[in-house]
Amino acid sequence: MTDRLEGKSIAITGAGRGIGRSLALKFAEEGARIVVSDLGGDGEGGGTASQAPADEVVAEIHELGGEAVAVYDDVATIAGGERVVQAAVESFGRLDGLVCNAAIMAPAKPLWELSEDEWDTVVRVNLRGQFCPVRAAIPVMRKQGTGRLIYFSSSAAIAADHGAVSAFDTSLYGASKAGVLGLMWGTATQFSEYGITSNAIMPGAATRLIDIRLPDTEQAAAFRSDKALGTWRDPKHVAPIVAYLLSDAGARVNGQLFGVMGGRLALYRPVEPNNVINAKEGVGFSMDELFRRFPAEFGVDLNYEPATFPPPVGN
């Protein structure tokens, strides 16, 4: 064990499997005390809740000689979010970092076939499931005068493209994860004066959520989570950047969006104006001026092009 996170109290939602589990184990190795939060449901917002995933990770951390406690509440509720924070304070005396990783996958159907319940279920878990723990954490961190909030977004939030190996429309999933970015930038702006930093991660790794929507093809089979160990798709590669942001070294990093995929780490900038025109006739655009100048200064053919992601380092 090393000491980059020595003594820090860190709560991680969705920590029973996949990326969350990898984070919990690595942070424990770095000396952190961990709240392992996991409802234990399936990857689509259903199934029977189980305490086993969280308990197993806690047992693994104890075997490493670390400290950890389990929480099984639904973090998409106010009470569930409060329970995660309460567990950290009661068990370890404080909450230094909150990692909001819990998420589910969107249904495998086009946008026009989604029901209201399907839409609400995904947004509930992926967005409200980050809001509720953050809501509970901020008063504690403000009182401490320090704290780290780590949000988990997705490349689908800025590049709503289903890609070569995905079998679902990313509009719903992307919308839920884009909302996370708005939440992150909001807390980054409002609470930095209290020593609280907020940052977001877009992870690229093979997990059970990806497995759910992989098509039945030879190409897609190579991306399954059971074949990820030791490759760039291994969830363990997400841990170093998150650990940095939680550590003392990351104290001055705030309001940033990072993409990590294997050995590739990218810093993304918020949306900025690409071209600006100002009205020349009065305080606003007349219809005539706007219709005349738009094609001349913005162009006629403007089409959304999803962001591209260079190949990661490694196999």
d(CA 287, CA 270): 31
**Which residue out of 151, 173, 244, 304 is catalytically annotated?**
173
Q: Is 304 a catalytic residue?
A: no
How far is C-alpha 133 from the geometric centre of its chain's CA atoms?
13
3-state helix, strand, coil in the chain (%, to 5): 45, 15, 40
Query: What global pTM score does this model have?
Result: 0.88
Instruction: Please tell me the distance from the alpha carbon of residue 277 to that of residue 292, in angstroms, as a whole number.
Output: 12
pLDDT of amino acid 163: 46
Please give the DSSP secondary-structure letter assigned to residue 269.
P
Strands 256-261 and 264-268: antiparallel
Q: What is the pLDDT of residue 101?
A: 94
What CATH number does the domain located at 9-268 have? 3.40.50.720
At 72 the three-state DSSP class reads coil
In this predicted model, what pLDDT tens digit does every residue of 189-237 receive, in sequence order?
999 999 999 999 998 755 555 655 555 666 655 565 555 566 556 777 8
Confidence at residue 50, expressed as pLDDT on a 0 to 100 scale: 82
pLDDT tens for each residue of 252-308: 999 999 988 777 888 988 778 888 999 987 789 999 999 999 999 999 998 877 666
**CB-CB contact of 266 with 258 (8 Å):** yes
Strand partners, 201: 152, 258
CA-wise closest residue to 121 among 166, 76, 152, 167? 76
Q: Which letter does DSSP use for residue 124 in this model?
A: I
Tell me the domain boundaries of the chain.
9-268
